[in-house]
Structure formats: structure tokens, C-alpha cells
Amino acid sequence: MTLPQLSSEWTTGLSLAWSAYIGVLSVWIVMQKRAPVSTMSWILSLALLPFAGFVIYYFLGPQRLKKQRLKRLRSSAGARGDADLAQLQGAAERAPPALRQMTALGTAACGLPVSSATSVQLLSGGAQAFDRIFDAIRGASDHVHLEYYIFEPDRIGTALRDLLAEKSKQGVKVRLLVDALGSKRLGSRFLAPLEASGAEIAFFHDTRIGRRLRPVTNYRTHRKIVVCDGRIGFTGGVNITDEEDRRTRPDAYHDVHVRIEGSAVRWLQTTFLEDWTYATGESVADTDRTLPHLLPHLVPDEEAGDIPVQVVTSGPDNVLEPIHRMHLAAINASTSRAWLTTPYFVPGEPALMALTSAALRGVDVRLLVPRRSDSFIVSAAARSYFDELIAAGVKVWEYKARMLHSKTLVVDDSCAMVGTANFDNRSFRLNFEVMAVVYGPALAGPLAAQFETDLLSAAPVRANRPQNFLMRLLDAVARLFSPLL
């Protein structure tokens, strides 16, 4: 056999192997029944990585997850919310039809109904958020539940660990759930004092190979939840890290959080308990049997307030994408303003259409993003949408002072959202997220004021801003990967 013949046979064999690889991979991806753009992006991207692409998709590609609900907990918590509905009846009758439809959408999409709060407070900056969280934990007498994406063993993390250990020694039930990837620096030595105090600790989606038949590395809990005695709850963008605290780091992220008091906290509690049961592998049936004894403590009867609040959750276990839908419904319902703040802006076609359509019909649509985020490719992808947005009348600002990490939306004077979800595909489809939707002016006013304050540290993006060819090309290329970001 001559050398040219051998080369030809090898070429033919490799071509057949590559074709078979593309065929198998394409069938696998297509059968996921994802959005066509996302499906084609995965196929084209991985086609350039023969065989290695198979491994990448196995670890990072989309897959369906199932996470059982604690039905008895939801049923009991819902029954305890009858007073909320009676208290809010007058407000509901005065609310615009679009707003009433939003509450129905949230309930249908994620199963959590509108509830009420006696107090809703916007917390600006990690320092203020940490102070209020620590105060609530110090005042807890029955239990403290925490769920975080990032919990660092740094100054603020150590202070919180020590406080939790102290409360646990006092007889308060402490449960801490952290994401295994986001909190990968939490080691056994750091957690030892907390475990010794009797607190329970769990990691969400262990990242070690071999823990599951197919790893779930790409599916993280991005939620930030604190619940104290079932009466006070917190959520928002602030993680447990010195990077969020300007008292420690002058360049700390700029972020916001929300403190909720009242019966709406029961749905943050429900979300935490379902995540806890899922992460620890506890039997749902066993948990349901113990709930009647636990409910008076975990879901106490709270006085109905006059502030309508709806907790909305989403994740890869829910194909309805509730948080995505709620954002679009709010923007589509806007009549005077829709002000969006997000650190990562990678909109899909429906989201882009909602923003530009609102601006074209005369709504004051504003978008605030960081000038430089902690992801170079996401920042480049975001810039690729600016010209299209500005041409439709959307006002775009880039926050200059520090890394902007807030995830908020304020619509008119009637709706405000604060949560953990970025305005991108990852948050809408892949991560487990949570958001508080507050109807009425209680949060819309303070959130609008915070937005205007943030604009003082931002610069408007001009339609004809100077950009060299290389930068424009980079942005355009990054946009091709938008469905994967």
C-alpha cells in the first residue's frame, strides 16, 4: 500500500467518523426541542470541535431536570393566604387589567399566588443589606434558613458563619444551602464551627464527576434567600462576599436587595424548603408527613398587609420560564416608563421586541448596564444590541463607577421587580432564580429613585459613538453566541 493510498483511506475514514459524530450530536441536540436559534448555535459551535464537543455538551448542554414540589406545604401555605386576598381585594379591583393578568400569569407559570406584606424595604448596597440581614438573624428565635449562590470564606462570610453558629448554639434551627460551584471555596475547616454548633449545611448540585449519571454542572442555584422565623425574608442580587461590601472594598459591586416582612415571606420559605429537599435528597413523602408538625414554625400565621407581593421562581425544571414571562408582561403593560437594570444583558428576540415596541409606542424605556462587567464576552454581546435599541428610542446608559450587579425593573408607578435573575438566557432558562414582584407604589417609588441616583454615575450611550472596526467585529461575533450565554 502506497503512502498516498494510506492518506486517502485515512481521510475517508476521518470524514465518515466526523459525519457520524455530527449526525449523532445533531439528533441529540434537536431532540431537546429547544429554541431553533439555540439549537443551531449548539450544533454549529460543537461541529467545530470534533468529539470534544460531545463531552462539552454532555457536561454543559441543556437537559430537562425534575424537582418535585412539596404539595402539602404549598397547599397549607396557600390556605393561610386567604386573608391576603381579602385584604388586597380593594387594591385588586383598582388595579389595571394588565396588572391583574400579570398576577395570574405568575401563579399559572410557577404556582405561587400573589400574597401581601406589611413592609417592603429596598436595601441599596451590600453593606446595608448585610446589616439588615444580620439584625434579622440576631432576632430569630425559631429558625434561620439561607440559600446562596456565592458564600465566600472572607471577612463578611466569616462574620455570618460565626453569627449562625452562635444562634444554633442558642437552639435556633439553622439551615444553610449553598451552590456547590458558586461557593466552591467553602471547605470543611471553614464550616467546622458551624457544623459543630448543630447547624445543617447542604450543597446544591455537587460538581464532582461521578455523582450523577449525567452531570448538572451547568444548572446552578443562583437564588439568594434568607428567611428568619418565617416572618422576615430577603432576596435580591447580594451574595455573601466582600466584593459586595464597600466597607471592605472600595471597588465593591453596586447592588440592591429587598427586605420583606409579612405573609409573603411564606413563599420564600416554600422555595427554600423545596430546594433544600431536592439538594439533600430527602424524601418528599417523608418531608410532607412531617410538615403538619413543622408548619406552625415554618409558615406562621402572619397579619395580612396592604402591599401586594408575588414571589416568582424559575429554573430548568420549569419550561414555562416564569421570570422571563413576567419581565415581558410588565414591559408590554407599561404606559409611562420601563426602567431596567441588569449586569448581564443578552436578550432573546421576544425580550428585544418588548423593549423596542414599548419605546416605539412612547414609553420611557431605559436600560442601565455596567460599562465593564466581569464577563468580557457578555459585555461585548450586550453592546451589539445598543444600536438597535437606541434606534427604537430606548435610552441606554453604562454605569461607570464600579461593577453594577443590580437586577431590577420598575414599570410605571405600579410594578417593581427585584431578584436574582439577569436579563439573559442563562438566568431565564438554566439557573434556579427567584424574584419579588411588588405591585403598587411601595417599591416602585424607591426603586425609581434608586435608578435615577445610579444614572448620576453613568454615561449615556450615543447612537453614533466612535467604534473601530475590530471592536464592532468583536461585538458582532459575541452576539452569535448569545443563545449560549
Q: Give how far Cα 92 sits from Cα of 81, 350, 441, 445, Å.
A: 15, 28, 14, 19
**Among 407, 424, 454, 475, the one annotated catalytic:** 407
What are the DSSP calls for 309-376, one per residue? EEEEEE-TT-TT-HHHHHHHHHHHH-SSEEEEE-S-EE--HHHHHHHHHHHHTT-EEEEEEESS-S-H
Give the contacts of 209 (CB within 8 A, at least 6 positions apart): 215
- Catalytic residue flag (residue 224): yes
Q: For Cα atoms 174, 177, 183, give the angle at the middle one, nearest 5 degrees.
A: 125
**Among 84, 229, 255, 454, the one annotated catalytic:** 229
**Among 245, 255, 275, 412, the one annotated catalytic:** 412
- Residue 338, SS3 per DSSP: strand
Give φ, ψ of 321 to 5 degrees: 50, 60
CA atoms within 13 A on the CB side of 332: 15
Nearest to 437, CA basis, from 317, 300, 264, 289: 264
Nearest to 255, CA basis, from 156, 158, 184, 167: 156
- Catalytic residue flag (residue 405): yes
Partnered with residue 151 across adjacent β-strands are 240
CA distance 198 to 162: 13
**For residue 235, what is the enclosing H or E element?**
strand 232-236
**Among 167, 222, 257, 327, the one annotated catalytic:** 222
- Catalytic residue flag (residue 407): yes
**Among 205, 224, 254, 257, the one annotated catalytic:** 224
Contact 100, 307 (CB under 8 A): no
Q: Give how far Cα 154 sits from Cα of 64, 124, 245, 304, 350, Å.
A: 35, 21, 11, 39, 40
What does R_g of the chain's alpha carbons equal in angstroms? 24
Report the largest interatomic distance among the alpha carbons of the chain, rounded to a whole angstrom: 89
Give φ, ψ of 120 to 5 degrees: -135, 125
- Catalytic residue flag (residue 257): no
**Among 143, 405, 424, 475, the one annotated catalytic:** 405
Catalytic residues: 222, 224, 229, 405, 407, 412
